[in-house]
Amino acid sequence: RLIKALRVGDSVSRQGGDEFTFLLCDLIDSKSYKNLIQRVLKAISVTYNVDGVIGNISASCGVTLFPEDNSDFDQLMRHADQAMYQAKLAGKNRYHLFDFNTEEYLQKKYTSQSEIEIALAREEFVLFYQPKINMRTGNMIGAEALIRWLHPEKGVIGPVNFLPQIENTQIMVSVGEFVIEQALLQLNVWLNQGKCWKVSINIDAYHFTQENFVARLRQSLAKYPYINSEYLEIEILETVAIDDIDLVSNIITQCQALGVSVSLDDFGTGYSSLSFLKALPVDTIKIDQTFVRDMLDDDDRLLIEGIISLAKVFKKDIIAEGVESVEHGTVLMRLGCDLAQGYGIAKPMPSEEVYSWANSYTADKSWSIWADSTWEMSNLPLVTAQAEHIKWVQTILYAIDNGYSDLPHHELIDHKKCQLGTWYYSHGEKYYRHLDSFKQLEVVHKKIHLVGRDIISCIDEGKKAKALSLSKTLLALKSEVLDCLNILQREINF
């Protein structure tokens, strides 16, 4: 329905859960998005009939316009997100345009320190929680507390929009102390519900290196004698730890003496040296999300492999942040990193939603299938082959709909040139040519490439009806390829 409501060339993607993003290109003017969004809202609200069960849903939309909102991609996403929140507040089933020109936006950009102080006193800050899971077992192991400002007029404001204003001030210390208190309160609630989840909090450098930091932490913990302090974890930034390694190491050791563990956040962005990592007594290394996001490319995967090996050498736990898709998780598991956090699992959510999220969460099937096995990295193309193949088929189906294809020609016609093919005729052939499933895969894989090529020829010649009828064969072959891959993956692994 979503795709049908939009124009050719627009994109729809699912962010996870019930969140979708639209990228609407080449708008004639700054108002023409309105019709499109109305069409989307209408399409969604048409009654659903699923096996005789009737359902109705509505959506809330947030919009921002580039280049009027002259921000980078992440910022644009955040603005659209904030606008969506406004739409929800205004009563749902509607859209809201981000106000990039108004006083409100400029003010939001330049919130003053005193406003933040007042907000703290008025209890306008809350902690959202983002689950961390073990991909092998599918269990939630803990959550990271991420601060949000529930502004009475401006809606939800994220930390990047107000924490920089209070850097190196006493207000940052107050905010940090508030975070510690809230996290302990929350731990108490979850422990009472029988949930032994570790809570991680982010502590700013200025606060962490205050002379009385550990003493104050001890006082806070003492208020909750029933909470085992091992359930609390502090995240500090790698860049911060490098600044004064002796001082920071000392404080880390004191925290650990209290039972509180310490994790090195955004690891990989600080260019720390080996000797630094050796000297720093942190318990966990958290791989920065920028590496994780690009890891399906070879170079970045090598970086991640390197970080994971480092963690193993120095006997640190390792967790990845920014896991946005199942494939990212699969590859991380293969490389030896089982713990993960990211939009592909869950977005940060209000504390009261976590319990039911955890109860209804089941990790992706493809994670549990491979939970007991280890892979050789040269077989990575086989691990990601399903996803690649599904994408390849979708590109062809999309081409039928739109009358053109943007698939590189060689990948389309030559079954040896697509990602799976490249693996098949090099590493694959060298080691697995004796397996029946390996031979069978070649047969169906060749066939599907031939059908794909015929479809594209039909499209080029304007024979859409013929292309459509061939698409049935394509889908049947797709299932065969996926079955073959499954059998082969198992055979190679056991």
Considering CB distances under 5 to 8 angstroms, the limit depending on partner class, which of ligand C2E, Mg ion, none binds residue 163?
ligand C2E
- Please report whether residue 384 would count as binding ligand C2E according to CB under 6 A: no
As measured in angstroms, the least distance from the Cβ of 117 to Mg ion is 24
List the one residue from 314, 343, 361, 425 that touches ligand C2E (CB under 6 A).
343
Q: Exposed/middle/buried for 187, CB within 10 Å: 0-12, 13-18, 19+?
A: buried
131 binds ligand C2E (CB under 6 A): no
Tokens of 1: 């329905």
Paired strand residues for 205: none
Print the binding letters for residues 218-237 with ligand C2E: x by CB under 6 A, - otherwise. -----------------x--
CA gap 20, 11 in Å, rounded: 10
Cβ distance to Mg ion smaller for residue 93 or 239? 239
* Phi (first) and psi of residue 284, to 5 degrees: -135, 145
In three-state secondary structure terms, 382 is: helix
Give CA–CA dist 494/488, Å, rounded.
10
Give, in degrees to the nearest 5, the angle at Cα 160 between 217 and 115.
Answer: 80
Q: What are phi and psi of 33, to 5 degrees?
A: -70, -25
Q: How far is the CB of 425 from ligand C2E (least distance, A)?
A: 35
Structure tokens at 186: 């929350």
Cα Rg, the chain, nearest whole Å: 26
Residue with smaller CB distance to ligand C2E, 280 or 474: 280
Q: Is residue 82 involved in binding ligand C2E (CB under 6 A)? A: no
How many residues lie near ligand C2E (CB under 6 A)? 22
Does the protein bind Mg ion through residue 130 (CB under 5 A)? no
Question: Among 69, 81, 177, 235, which residue sits at the site for Mg ion (rule: CB under 5 A)?
Answer: 235
Tell whether residue 81 is a contact of Mg ion (CB under 5 A): no
**Bridge partner residues of 127 (DSSP):** 147
With CB under 5 A as the contact rule, which of the stretches 17-25, 195-203, 337-345, 413-421 interacts with Mg ion? Answer: 195-203
What are the CA-CA distances from residue 26 to residues 9, 76, 101 (Å)?
9, 17, 21
CA–CA gap between residue 102 and residue 364 (Å, rounded): 43
- Applying the rule CB under 6 A, the residues between 163 and 182 that interact with ligand C2E are 163, 179
Out of 64, 86, 130, 351, the residue judged to bind ligand C2E by CB under 6 A:
130
Cα 264 from Cα 280, distance rounded (Å): 9
Q: Is 204 in the site for Mg ion (CB under 5 A)?
A: no
Instruction: Please tell me whether residue 142 binds ligand C2E under the rule CB under 6 A.
Output: no
What b/e readout covers 47-78, taking b as 16+ CB neighbours within 10 angstroms?
Answer: eeeeeeeeeeeebbbbbbbeeebeeeeeebeb
- Of the candidate spans 41-49, 131-139, 270-278, 320-328, the one that interacts with ligand C2E by CB under 6 A turns out to be 320-328
CB of 252 to ligand C2E, least distance (A): 16
Beta carbon of residue 307, minimum distance to ligand C2E (angstroms, whole number): 15
322 interacts with, out of ligand C2E, Mg ion, none, CB within 5 to 8 A per kind: ligand C2E
Stretch that binds ligand C2E, among 63-71, 186-194, 341-349, 419-427 (CB under 6 A): 341-349
122 vs 464: CA distance, rounded Å: 63
Residue 346 or 420 having the CB closest to Mg ion: 346
Tell me if 321 contacts ligand C2E by CB under 6 A: yes
| Minimum gap (Å) between residue 235 Cβ and Mg ion | 4
Is the CB of residue 108 less than 8 Å from the CB of residue 157? yes
> Which residue in 69, 177, 204, 265 binds Mg ion (CB under 5 A)?
265
Give the span between the Cα atoms of 22 and 3, in whole angstroms: 10
> CB under 5 to 8 A by kind: which of Mg ion, ligand C2E, none does 354 bind?
none
With CB cut-offs between 5 and 8 Å by kind, which of ligand C2E, Mg ion, none does residue 81 bind? none
* AA letter at 48: Y
Minimum CB separation from ligand C2E for residue 186, in Å?
13
Query: Which token pair is 417?
Result: 């040139």
Among residues 203 and 470, whose Cβ is nearest to ligand C2E?
203
Contact between 202 and ligand C2E per CB under 6 A? yes
Instruction: Tell which positions 408-427 bind ligand C2E, by CB under 6 A.
Output: none
Query: Can you name the residues that pair with 265 across neighbouring β-strands?
Result: 237
> Residue with structure tokens 């891959």?
485
Question: What six digits make up the tokens of 447?
Answer: 């066939």
Among 268, 348, 421, 428, binds ligand C2E (CB under 6 A): 348
In Å, how far are 29, 90, 99 from 68, measured between CA atoms? 11, 24, 10
Q: Binding residue for Mg ion (CB under 5 A) from 266, 327, 338, 442?
A: 266
Q: Alpha helix locations (H) across 131-286?
A: 170-192, 205-208, 213-222, 238-243, 245-257, 274-279
Which positions touch Mg ion (CB under 5 A)?
202, 235, 265-266, 321
Which positions touch ligand C2E (CB under 6 A)?
130, 146-147, 158-160, 163, 179, 202-204, 235, 265-266, 289, 321-324, 342-343, 348
